[in-house]
Amino acid sequence: MENTYQTDITVIGAGPAGLFSVFEAGMLGYNCTIIDSLPEIGGQLSALYPEKPIYDIPGHPNILAKDLAINLEKQIQPFKPNILLGEPAKSVIKKDDLFITTCGQNEIISKCLIVAGGGGMFTPRKPPIANITDFEEKSVFYAVKNKQQFTNKTIVIAGGGDSAVDWAVDLAQIAKHIHIIHRRPEFRAAEGTVQKMNTLVKEGKITLHTPCQLGAIHGENGEISKIDIANLKKEITTVDADFLLCFFGIAPTLGPIADWGIDIEKKKINVDPASMKTNVEGILAIGDMAHYAGKIELILTGFAEGAIAARTAQSIIEPDKKFRVKYSTSLGVPS
C-alpha cells in the first residue's frame, strides 16, 4: 500500500448522508476519512441531478443539488477530513478492535466505520455502441453536469423516462436544437412535462424520433459531428449533433459492501435506528442504504442518521465518555 491513514472514523460514501456524518463526528472531536468511488463528492446530488432544485431541505426553500453538495463540503472543511475520491472501498478487515479498509493504494485504519453507500456504486446503463467510450466525458454524457456547455448546441437525447424528457424541456431553452430518440412511441415521464415537450415539438425546438434507436456515432478526437438514428425497419436518418445525452437509467451495484459480513437484505443494510448499528460491532450504516421499519429515503433522514451515528461512534471510540448534546451555537467550529 502506498498510503496508510489512521483516522477515528472511516466513512464510505460521500453523498449527503456521509458528508454530514463527517460534520457531526467533527463536532464531537473525531476526524474522518471519507471515501467515494466517484471522482467528486455529493453522491446522487452530483451524479444524477446536479442542476435540479431541491425544495425539501430544511431552511432552504430551494437549492440546486450541486450547491447543496458544495455547501456540505464547505461545512466539513473546518474538521479537515481526509477525502479519498475515485476509488471504491474494496475490502474491510477487522483486526482486534480496528478496521482496515483498503481503497486503491490506500489503507485506512479506524475504530469505527460508517457505511453511507446510498443506492450503491453508480454505473450508467450504456447503449451498445462500440466507439461510445471515445466520446465519453467530452461529447457523450450520462448526466448533465454543466448545463451551460449546451448553449446554442445541437443535442441528441436518448431515452424516454423522466430524465430524458425533463432535460429535453429544460435544455430546449438554451440549445440550438434537440433530437429525442426513444424506442417506444410513448414516454414514461410526468404527464405535465411530456405536454411541455410536445409544445416544444410543435414550436420546432425539439424533433422526436420514435420508435427509434441510436445507430452510430460519428466524429473525431472525442467530438461528435453526426449521429445515425435507426427506425424499426433499420432505415437510417443521420442528424448533425454536438452532444449526445444518454438517459437509460443507472444500475446501482452494491459492490464490495456485500462482502463485509453485514446483514444485507434487498441491497439495504438492516440497522437499529436508535444507534444506526449494523450486525457487525463497530460498523454503522446511514442514508439510503440503511434500512429499518418506517424508514423514509430522503436527504433529511440521512442528515439525522449522521448525527445519531456520530453519537454511536463516540460510544465505540471512547466507551467511557458520557454523551452530552452540545449546541453548535455554543461550541462553534474550529477556525
Instruction: Decide: 178 and 206 in contact? Cβ < 8 Å.
Output: yes
Distance in angstroms (rounded) separating the CA atoms of residues 39 and 47: 10
Residue 257 interacts with ligand FAD (CB under 6 A): yes or no: yes
Residue 287 interacts with ligand FAD (CB under 6 A): yes or no: yes
- Tell me the window of 30-38, 131-139, 147-155, 174-182 that interacts with ligand FAD (CB under 6 A): 30-38
- In DSSP notation, 154-201 reads EEEEE--BHHHHHHHHHHTTTSSEEEEE-SSSS-BS-HHHHHHHHHHH
Cell numbers 474538521: residue: 79
Distance in angstroms (rounded) separating the CA atoms of residues 158 and 272: 42
Give, as ranges, the residues between 299 and 328 that touch ligand FAD (CB under 6 A). Answer: 299-300, 302
Nearer to ligand FAD, 23 or 135 (CB): 23
Number of residues that bind ligand FAD (CB under 6 A): 38
Nearer to ligand FAD, 37 or 110 (CB): 37
Residue 227 interacts with ligand FAD (CB under 6 A): yes or no: no
Residue 51 interacts with ligand FAD (CB under 6 A): yes or no: no
Distance in angstroms (rounded) separating the CA atoms of residues 228 and 217: 6
Nearer to ligand FAD, 124 or 255 (CB): 255
Nearer to ligand FAD, 44 or 110 (CB): 44
Q: Which of 26, 50, 88, 159 binds ligand FAD (CB under 6 A)?
A: 88
Residue 9 interacts with ligand FAD (CB under 6 A): yes or no: no
Instruction: Decide: 23 and 126 in contact? Cβ < 8 Å.
Output: no
Give, as ranges, the residues between 92 and 131 that touch ligand FAD (CB under 6 A). Answer: 116-122
Residue 160 interacts with ligand FAD (CB under 6 A): yes or no: no
Q: Which of 5, 31, 54, 124 binds ligand FAD (CB under 6 A)?
A: 54
- In DSSP notation, 46-100 reads HHT-TTSEE--BTTBSSEEHHHHHHHHHHHHGGG--EEEESS-EEEEEEETTEEE
Give the CA-trace dihedral at 48, 53, 56, 62, to 10 degrees: 150
Residues that bind ligand FAD in the complex, under the rule CB under 6 A = 12-18, 35-38, 43-45, 48-49, 54, 56, 88-89, 116-122, 255-257, 287-289, 297-300, 302
